[in-house]
Each structure stands twice: as structure tokens, then as C-alpha cells.
Chain A
Amino acid sequence: MTTIAVPTRFRLRGNGLAVVGTTILVLVLAFCLLGPLLYHTDQVHTDLGAARLSPGQQGHPLGTDDLGYDVLGRLMIAGRTSLAIGVLAGLLATAIGAIWGALAGYVGGWLDAVLMRIVDTGVAIPALFLLLVAATLITPSIGVLSLVIGCVSWLVPARLMRAEAATLRERDFIKAITVMGAGRFRVVFTHLLPNAVGTLVVAGTFQIAEAILLVAYVSFLGLGVPPPATDWGAMLSKGITYTYDGAWWLILPPGIAIVLIVCAINFVGDGLRDAFAARGRS
């Protein structure tokens, strides 16, 4: 990994958008993870006496929601949920997709046909639909949501990895190691996957961004983690009710947070892709 990290970081520095993306990412992470340590709010007990205060009132910089939770504090802990699910689901999707695609692309033949037709079928069923069905059947928690989102969004990484594996398979070093008697698992895990790390890292970042969006959808529809826990999608969903009362502070902060983080991750992903492409050329 060290040999990859060095040129990548070097290249990222020259890429304006990627630097912006990384900066935003670090700031948002610090805000969600470190913020609650410095800015103490009660996010468990409701306080109807302090409900729907507008920003600045009674020491609430971003006001409070309909149950009296401080919006700034809530934004932090909601972010924790969104990011945790996003990262876990994104990694899970990439991992499943990588192994699935590597096997299909490397082994080829009927196994390839079967594995990839399963992927095609999966793509034909809307992920959101599967997600909603699953969320109604199982009580949502961070773990369950990550698992479900990961299991519905591994299809794209699988296709990417299959293409990569099919190309790598024709390279002489793979042939050489096969001829020497290496088993399929050895070839896939010690040679194919490490060589596809560039593709996988890039696919992984985009998967994380997508998972954050998916969890926002699900929560927006009221099928997210149960209260008092929350995430940015759920905050949006609740805030929508009070839009016509002019309670902008209930929807703008989570909305902006989602847009910011998704854009930032995509910038980083684009930067990584350029960096790996440049490395491949040199």
C-alpha cells in the first residue's frame, strides 16, 4: 500500500478539486466525530418547552426542532450515522463486488456467465425498492442498514472488477503463475486483486457517496434508524413538515451537509482516478 499512497498523494496535491474535496471531507469528519465532544447537547431527551426555536435563540446557534433538540448538535450525531452507514456499506459493496467480479473475470466460461447474469438481474431490480422492502421487514439499525445497502449496491463494482480481471488474466505474469500450478484462489487474492487496487479504491469512494445518498432516501421515507437516533435524511424528512412555517433551519443544514459530503467524496474519487490513471501510464 505504501507504494500506492506516495504517488497518489503527490498527484492529488496538483488536483484543485480533489484538494477541496479532501479538505471538506476532513472538516465534516471532524465536525461529526469531534464536534459533540466540544459542543454538548442533549440528543436523547425531548424538550417541548424549547421546540422550534429559530437560530440564535436561547443559546441554540442553529435553533431547535419540533421536539426541542438542538439542530447543530443533532447535525453532528446524525452525521455520525450517515457517515458510518455510508462507509460500511460502501466498503461492503466494494468487497463483494471485487471478489464476485474477480472470480467471474478470471475463471470465465460458464461461471462468468452465471455470475454476470445474476448481476444483470440485480441491476434490473431498483435498489431502492429492495431497500424499502428490507427496511420494512427488519428493524433498522446502523449494522442492518449498512448490510442491506451494501448487499444491494455491489453490482457496479462487480462489473468494473470483472472487466479488470478479464484484462489482467491475459497478462503474462498471471499466465506464468497459473502454469506454475497456483490455485485459483491464490491467483485471485494474491495477484488479481492487488493489481486492481486502483480501480477498487476509486469504485469504493463512489460507492460510499452513493450509500450516503441511499441511506438519506430511506430515512427520508421514514424507514431509517429509529428515534432518538437520527441521520441527515431523517432530519430532512422531519424538517419538511415545517417548511411552510418558515423553519428553514430544519432543512437547510442537513440538506447542505448531504450535498457537501457527496460532492466532496466524488471530488476525491475523481482525483484518485486521475492519480491512478497517471500511475498506470508512467
Chain B
Amino acid sequence: MSELASESSSAERPRERTPSPSEAPAASESSDANAAARVLEIDDLRVGYGSTVAVDGLSVTVSRGEIVALVGESGSGKSTVALAALGLLPRSARVEGTITLAGQDIGSATPEELRQLRGRGAGMVFQEPMTALNPVLTIGFQVAESIRNHDSQPRRHKHYDDRCVELLERVGVPDAAKRLKQYPHQLSGGLRQRVLIAIAIAAGPGLILADEPTTALDVTVQQQILDLIRDIRDTEGTGTLLITHNLGVVADIADRVIVLRNGKVVEEADTETLFASPKADYTRQLLAAVPKLGDTQHEDRHAAENAVLQLRDIVVEYHGRRVVDDVSLTVDKGEIVGLVGESGSGKTTLAQCALGLVTPKSGAVDVFGGRLDSKARRRLGVVFQDPASSLDPTKTVAQTIAEPLVIHTRTGRAERQRKVRELMDAVELPQSLLDRRGHELSGGQRQRVSLARAVVLGPDLLIADEPTSALDVSVQAAVLDVLERLHVGFGFGCLFISHDLAVVDRVCDRVAVLRGGQLVEQGPCATVLHHPEHPYTQALLLASPVPDPAAQRERRRPARA
């Protein structure tokens, strides 16, 4: 461990890094400079619940001014590590090993010492900024609270206003003084995350624990937040333990990477080395599963056969606010059209117009050249984003897949069963799952069941609204494979909605980019995604991090300028 720590502080790092640990302010109380440089030291951590093991022998050191990424898919135990570092694990957890935070042993700390460590030793940034902030308290109150908690003579919240403004300005919140009186719901997701970071650094901790800090954010906002984290590291010399599943984010910001799988460390290396020459098979698989822009060869398709979906001049308003503003889009038979945009761009609303779930204020929706009646619905399949809610929890897999058959046909029971079994093979699910219910399946399995249900009647149009956004990369890759194979087999036209440009590039023939309800650019993937014309598309492309540190550095330069 100590070699690693000293190596990371002495080795020249390719990044522009201003302060060396010795210049970093505060944290010089300990006489031993090397120990002071280490803000978090986890040695052989083992965490278990009942008979399951969440973390199995993990050792990590984070020094001042260092960003260490803990990477893994869901269930790898990465979040448990962050909770353990702050002594926040539930009583039912069995914890072994030592955790030293700011020179203090978490295991033997008294509750009061723990309270002091939380905030002063390490600040925490959570994934979901909306739920991490209290919706009924003002921003000012919540930021002040975090300062007051570590004030030896706490005073009224108002007293800390100046310091709050200072903190909010530090994390790049515009009109900071005005924001103090606002509530979390009045702020955008990116601003909320900035507030959360302000709270995390309020007591001047040596370490920031960031648990998926950008996962809930749009790519352009994600980049700003990553820049902020990097900036805090550069100026305050704070160490960061970044927990993420996104290898692009890791390539962008981390100095060192630890890959976790099922609670075990699979590989540990500095970022350049890991991406350049991954040693473990699992790391290689992970890297291979991340879709990359430009990996897919697009053939020139001469489409313009008969359109299966035609949206013409669609306008949708909610309470007088335009969410979709005069958008026209066509999906031809057998063609996959990507619809890309950030949150609030109106892409889901547009899909719901096509599905008849939202009635546009003006404009025409043509499905198979006519209205969306029962006959047209028979030829329409749909897959939604959230695997947790897309299947009826009271129905078995077999019942779910067979439902469209029951609605639209008079197929007999035996015939239905045969058809369901056939589709289980098509989406590569074992027949043994037929009698399971939705909640007994994993996220990827549920999305496969959704796909099977969507294509059971052999549809001519499939509408997929972020079908893989909630899945781990390796699962996403497998589900996209299934989608592509089904597409080849059934030849349906598909409207594929995603925020991930690389996924769209992999799957789609054509792409349309939405921003604030307006169509910014549309055309073949090869043109729009590789030689974008519109500045917004260019910005979007630059903001999505790629899992390659060198390329990522290249990309960041123009984006920052």
C-alpha cells in the first residue's frame, strides 16, 4: 500500500496539476508527511450481510490531491465501500479490516468522533441530487447546516450566510446570494449537484467520497461537474474516491483505477496503464462492452420505401410550455432511427405521441399511413426504459410474453406456448424462467422479456425508449445484440430513443438530435455523428467521455476553450 501511495505522489502525472501535497493547505497537523498525505486508507476490508459477501478483501489508499476511481457494475460492492468509509453501514453488516479516515480508525471511533469525521474528514456526494437534498428546506439552510455542524460554537443559520455564498460561488453556482432562499426543486439537476458538492466541502474535508456523482446528469452537465471536481482537487488538494460504473468518466478524471467485481479487486493500476493494457480478462470485457463512436460501419441505405411512422409538425404543450416544437420525423420500414437528446429535450414526449399516450396540440401522427387504431397497435411493439416497472409483478414471464397474443389473436394455448418458447430462445433466455415473475429477474433479463413481448406479434414498428439506459455496460451490450438480431429477423422499423450517442451510433441507421423540443439536426449516423454540422451536436459529441484517457484529454481541450 505504501509504495502505491508514494508512487502516486512522486510519479509525474500527465495531468495539469498545480499543488503538490506539501503545498496543500491545512492537513499538516501530523508530523509524518507521508501519513498526512494519505486521507483514506482501507486495508483488507470485508463486508458481509448474512451469508452474502458484499466486499471481499479490498485495500485502497487515497492521498491528498489524488482521484482514485472505484469501478464496477451493479452488485460489485462499490457503494458499500463509500458507506463503510464513513461508518454508515447498517448494524446488520459484518465489517472486518481497518479503515483509517483522516488518521482516525473508523472501527474504534466513538459516535461523536464519527460525527466529526463525517464532513470534516470526508464529504459525501451522492448520485441523486434531488433525493440527497431535503425538499422542504432552503439551499441556504442546508449549506449552513453543514458548516454549523462543524462549528465549535454553533450559531444561528443566518450567521453563516456569507460563508454559504462563498461556498456556492466556489462550486460555480451563479447568483449565489439569490439561491440561498431557493428550494431544491427550483434548481436544475446540475446546480443541485453543485450544491451537494458545496455541502460536501463545507467543513474543508481532506477527502470527497463521490458515489456516481454524474450518473443522473446529462453529458454536458456531467462534464461541468467533473471539471469542478478536478478543480477542487487542483486548488484545495482534496483527495477523491470516485465511485462509478462509467469508464468514460474514469478515463476523463481519475489518476488511479480499481476495478471491482463481486466485492473483489480484479485489477488496480494507474489510469493510463489500465486503459492502454488491461491485465484482467474482466477489465478487458468491460472495456470491450462500452460502445464507441465510429466503431460501426454504416452502409448507405436507400430507404424511402414506405414509412411505418410519420410525425409531421408535432407541437406538444404542457401548461403553455412547449415541450415539442414543430418536429417532423419519419421512420421507414426496416430502418432504425435514433432520437437523441438530453433530459427535457422532448424525446420521450415525442415517442409518447407516436404511441398515442400523448395527444399533440397540432401536427399529425401517421402510423402505417393511418391512425393508431387497434389494427395498427397489433403491428406496434414497445420497450420502456425502467426494467423495474416495465413488467407486471403479478404475472409470470410466460403470461407477459403471451399477452399481446391473447389481446389480438385467438391462438390456442398450445400454440401460444410454442410461440413463447420460440421467443425465449430468440432473446436468449433459458426456458426455466418461464414461470418466474418480473421481480425475480435481473434488469437485463427483464428488458429481454420486454423485447420478447414487443415482437411476439411480429411488429412492423418498434418504439424503444432508452431500453438499455438502466443496465450495466456488459448487459447493455448483450441486450443491444439481441435487439439487432431481432431486427434482422423481423425487419421492423424502429424508433430508438437514447441519450447515449455511442449506443445510437452502434444501433441506428439515421439519427435525429433534439434540443429543447426542437429538431437540431437529422441525417444518416455516418454524417451526423461523425461530421456534425450543428454546434449543439458537436458539443454533445465532445461532452460524452470516451474510455481512453489520451483521446479524452484531446477532446477536453476544445470543449473547455
A176 to chain B, nearest CB (A): 6
Flag the segment in A64-72, A105-113, A180-188 that touches B.
A180-188
Flag the segment in A28-36, A149-157, A167-175 that touches B.
A167-175
* Contact call A3/B437, Cβ cutoff below 8 A: yes
A269 to chain B, nearest CB (A): 21
In the complex, A181→B379 CA distance in Å? 10
B392 / chain A contacts, CB cutoff of 8 Å: 173-174, 177, 191, 194-195
* Contact call A172/B403, Cβ cutoff below 8 A: no
Q: Which of A197-213 contact B (CB under 8 A)?
A: 197
In the complex, A186→B408 CA distance in Å? 12
Known: A178-B357, A181-B377. A172 touches B394 (CB 8 A): no
B441 to chain A, nearest CB (A): 13
Residue of B nearest to A191 (CB): B392
Residue of A nearest to B378 (CB): A181
Residue of B nearest to A171 (CB): B389
* Contact call A176/B390, Cβ cutoff below 8 A: yes
Question: Is B407's CB within 8 Å of the partner chain A?
Answer: yes
A175 / chain B contacts, CB cutoff of 8 Å: 355, 357, 382, 384
Question: Is B324's CB within 8 Å of the partner chain A?
Answer: no
Residue of B nearest to A193 (CB): B394
Question: Is A179's CB within 8 Å of the partner chain B?
Answer: yes
In the complex, A173→B447 CA distance in Å? 12
Residue of A nearest to B408 (CB): A181
B407 / chain A contacts, CB cutoff of 8 Å: 180-183, 186
Q: Which of A173, A178, A186, A195 is B390 in contact with, Cβ under 8 Å?
A: A173
* Contact call A172/B384, Cβ cutoff below 8 A: yes
* Contact call B382/A176, Cβ cutoff below 8 A: yes
In the complex, A32→B393 CA distance in Å? 39
* Contact call B389/A173, Cβ cutoff below 8 A: yes
B408 / chain A contacts, CB cutoff of 8 Å: 180-181
A229 to chain B, nearest CB (A): 41
* Contact call B384/A176, Cβ cutoff below 8 A: yes
Q: Which of B356, B437, B450 is A176 in contact with, Cβ under 8 Å?
A: B450
In the complex, A205→B241 CA distance in Å? 51
B375 to chain A, nearest CB (A): 9
Question: Is B374's CB within 8 Å of the partner chain A?
Answer: yes
* Contact call B377/A179, Cβ cutoff below 8 A: yes
B384 / chain A contacts, CB cutoff of 8 Å: 172, 175-176
* Contact call A172/B356, Cβ cutoff below 8 A: no
A137-161 vs B: 1/0 string, CB under 8 Å? 0000000000000000000000000
* Contact call A177/B356, Cβ cutoff below 8 A: no
B547 to chain A, nearest CB (A): 30
B419-441 vs A: 1/0 string, CB under 8 Å? 00000000000000000011000
B356 / chain A contacts, CB cutoff of 8 Å: 179
Question: Is B386's CB within 8 Å of the partner chain A?
Answer: yes
B355 / chain A contacts, CB cutoff of 8 Å: 175, 179
B400-415 vs A: 1/0 string, CB under 8 Å? 0001100110000000
* Contact call A172/B404, Cβ cutoff below 8 A: no
Range class of the A interface residue count? 10 to 19
A182 / chain B contacts, CB cutoff of 8 Å: 403, 407
Question: Is B380's CB within 8 Å of the partner chain A?
Answer: yes
A171 / chain B contacts, CB cutoff of 8 Å: 389
Known: A173-B390, A194-B394. A179 touches B357 (CB 8 A): yes
In the complex, A23→B80 CA distance in Å? 42
In the complex, A175→B357 CA distance in Å? 8
Question: Is B47's CB within 8 Å of the partner chain A?
Answer: no
A117 to chain B, nearest CB (A): 24
Residue of A nearest to B377 (CB): A181
Residue of A nearest to B456 (CB): A180
B403 / chain A contacts, CB cutoff of 8 Å: 177, 180, 182
Known: A181-B407, A182-B407, A195-B393. A172 touches B374 (CB 8 A): no
B448 to chain A, nearest CB (A): 14
Q: Which of B374, B382, B391, B437 has the most CB of A within 10 A?
A: B382
B509 to chain A, nearest CB (A): 23
A191 / chain B contacts, CB cutoff of 8 Å: 392, 394-395
B256 / chain A contacts, CB cutoff of 8 Å: none
Q: Which of A174, A180, A194, A195 is B404 in contact with, Cβ under 8 Å?
A: A180
A183 / chain B contacts, CB cutoff of 8 Å: 407
In the complex, A173→B393 CA distance in Å? 9
* Contact call A180/B377, Cβ cutoff below 8 A: yes
In the complex, A3→B357 CA distance in Å? 32
* Contact call A180/B391, Cβ cutoff below 8 A: no
B371 to chain A, nearest CB (A): 13
B438 / chain A contacts, CB cutoff of 8 Å: 173
Q: Which of B357, B374, B385, B393 is A181 in contact with, Cβ under 8 Å?
A: B374
Question: Is B453's CB within 8 Å of the partner chain A?
Answer: yes
B255 to chain A, nearest CB (A): 39
Q: Which of B433-462 contact A (CB under 8 A)?
A: 437-438, 450, 453
B209 to chain A, nearest CB (A): 26
Q: Which 4 A-B pairs have the closest CB atoms?
A: A181-B377, A172-B384, A194-B394, A172-B390
28 interchain pairs, CB-CB under 8 A: A171-B389, A172-B389, A173-B390, A173-B391, A173-B392, A175-B357, A175-B382, A176-B384, A176-B390, A176-B453, A178-B357, A179-B356, A179-B377, A179-B380, A179-B382, A180-B377, A180-B381, A180-B382, A180-B404, A180-B407, A181-B377, A181-B407, A181-B408, A182-B403, A182-B407, A191-B395, A195-B392, A195-B394
Residue positions of B touching A, CB distance < 8 A: 355-357, 374, 377-378, 380-382, 384-386, 389-395, 403-404, 407-408, 437-438, 450, 453
